Structure 1
Amino acid sequence: MQNRFLPVLLALLAGLLSPVAGATGACERLVATGDPEQPPYLWLDPQTPGQMIGASADLLELLAKTLDLKIDLIRSGSRPAAEQHVASGRIDLLLGSFPGGARRESLDFIEPALFVQSVVAWVRRERVFPYGGWSDLYAHQGVIQAGDRFTRGFDPLSATSLPLKEAPTLNEALRMLRRGEVAYLLGERQVVQAAAESLGMLAEVQPLPPLLSEGLYLAVGRDSACNTPELRARLAAGLTELNAAGLAGNLLQRNAARWLAQGLPSPSVVK
């Protein structure tokens, strides 16, 4: 009797203990999340509750197709919640994150960056002033859209350092620039460009060199069951291929226009 059932028991035990079978099943589909308040990179679609859209979402979809991977993008409620879910391993990928010191302890960031986020001062073409860096802005009155967090999140760009007014909307901030009430408008380059184009002002304004630029990265949680050197290498190769195709600019412009058309609250630059 013992000899009769021993092969069956051994086969069942081998199946239960096989790491290959478990890993394959766990990684047939990856799950990603991100900051739902990061337009034009990522935000909640008001027309489809719970669905996140934006340039990062579009690029993630292209990456999945390029690598023949299944990647689901889900909402986590907030930026801290998204980071915590990925750091704990409950979700595999974090979309559009800055590689801060604390994040590097729980996340593996994939090179190259998804996008490079730039904050610039926009000025009227006929009123360009000498500019060699952020310190040259002290002598001029500027404006931001109310609610933008980058002026309080980055040093030395802070509301207490620079003379900044607040406009209720980005369109109103551009109109203040047009009327000569301010000398510059601080904003994310692609978002301001889309707003200026929608107002027919693109020929009237120009950006100064960026005050700051930060890469927005795709990161894999170190505790994710799918985090392997092979996966990270595939993701890096796919991003390199997409980066070489020069898609970032078009994706950002299209989604900046999409966000503005929806009339949603201010975007933000977040550390």
Structure 2
Amino acid sequence: MVLCKPGLAEERACKTLTVSGNPEYPPLLWEDSREPEALTGVATALLAEILEPLGVKLEVKSLGSWARVQRHARYGELDMIAGAFITPERTQYMDYLLPPFTQLTVSVWVPKDRVFEYRHWPDLKGKQGGTLINNSFGQGFDSFAEKSLEIVGVRTIEQSFEMALAGRVDYVLYERLQGQVKLQRLGLADEFVALDVPISTEGLFYTFSKKSPCNTFELRERIADRLYTLLNSGRLDSLISEYTARYMSLQP
């Protein structure tokens, strides 16, 4: 297949990039209470710095649940998702931009008074888990979970933690960074512990909808070049510190 340079009409169509993502992902992404239809966080701040010298305007939208965001990308109603793990299903309707902009460790979170021994995935058999609808934790674990585990998907991670406190589920699957930030702001940091052994550690990527008019070889390459430069400069770490502080300063 020959990759051709996009024409002028195609370039004009890419002056604005419509982006969304998982609204339950602080400090990487969350809904901005001051702008109910927008998201804020590390993922979009870094993307804005990538796009600015490229002359592409960033339009960030809050579309509701993570499951709904993925549906919009599937049907081309969204140009890009700011943060997704790779799964076989998602590669059918999204193109992943290299490199991943961060690596995330997924933990088993349990109420402190109901800690159980966990060494590897089979230790979760016979227990009830909770997480977000349509969440993925790597192809290997997803396949194992589908065949062997009972995991309830809900719309917000707060629901999962509340269900664990009420004894309706035994554990919650959620990223370690996001869990620490989320629980601290909810005032539940002393109620939960992340078990030592992680479920997985996966790269988190910016992804283009295959149906987006902005999804061109040239733009993907230019974004990748800027992403490499910013990651190598240590910019991600400073943004994580900045946006963690912003999220923690919000009123519960």
Q: TM-score range by the shorter chain?
A: 0.5 to 0.7
Inter-partner Cα distance in structure 2 for 1:26 and 1:138: 50
55-64 vs 128-137, which moves further: 128-137
Inter-partner Cα distance in structure 1 for 2:67 and 2:34: 24
Residue equivalent to 2:153: none
Residue equivalent to 2:23: 37
Aligned AA (2:228): T
Q: TM-score, normalised by structure 2?
A: 0.65
Structure 2 residues without counterparts, runs of 5 or longer: 1-5, 151-156, 166-170
| C-alpha RMSD over aligned residues | 4.6
Instruction: Give the greater-gyration-radius structure (CA).
Output: 1
Quickly say closer, same or farther: Cα 1:169–1:137, change in 2 above 3 A.
Answer: closer
3-state SS, counterpart of residue 120 of structure 1:
strand
Residue equivalent to 1:71: 58
Aligned AA (1:96): G
Q: Is the 8 A contact 2:73 2:79 kept in 1?
A: yes
Aligned AA (1:39): Y
Q: Is the 8 A contact 1:43 1:53 kept in 2?
A: yes
Q: Deviations over 1:137-161 (max 9, x none)?
A: 779x9997xx656699956569x95
Quickly say closer, same or farther: Cα 1:95–1:207, change in 2 above 3 A.
Answer: same
Quickly say closer, same or farther: Cα 1:255–1:225, change in 2 above 3 A.
Answer: same
3-state SS, counterpart of residue 78 of structure 2:
coil
Residue equivalent to 1:116: 103
Residue equivalent to 1:99: 86
Inter-partner Cα distance in structure 2 for 1:245 and 1:42: 21
185-194 vs 99-108, which moves further: 185-194
78-87 vs 223-232, which moves further: 78-87
Q: TM-score, normalised by structure 1?
A: 0.61
Residue equivalent to 2:219: 231
Inter-partner Cα distance in structure 2 for 1:90 and 1:151: 22
Match status 1:48 vs 2:35? yes
1:45 CA displacement: 0.9
Quickly say closer, same or farther: Cα 1:226–1:196, change in 2 above 3 A.
Answer: closer
Q: Deviations over 1:82-114 (max 9, x none)?
A: 334444444322221233223222321101113
Q: Is the 8 A contact 1:151 1:157 kept in 2?
A: no
Quickly say closer, same or farther: Cα 1:250–1:161, change in 2 above 3 A.
Answer: farther
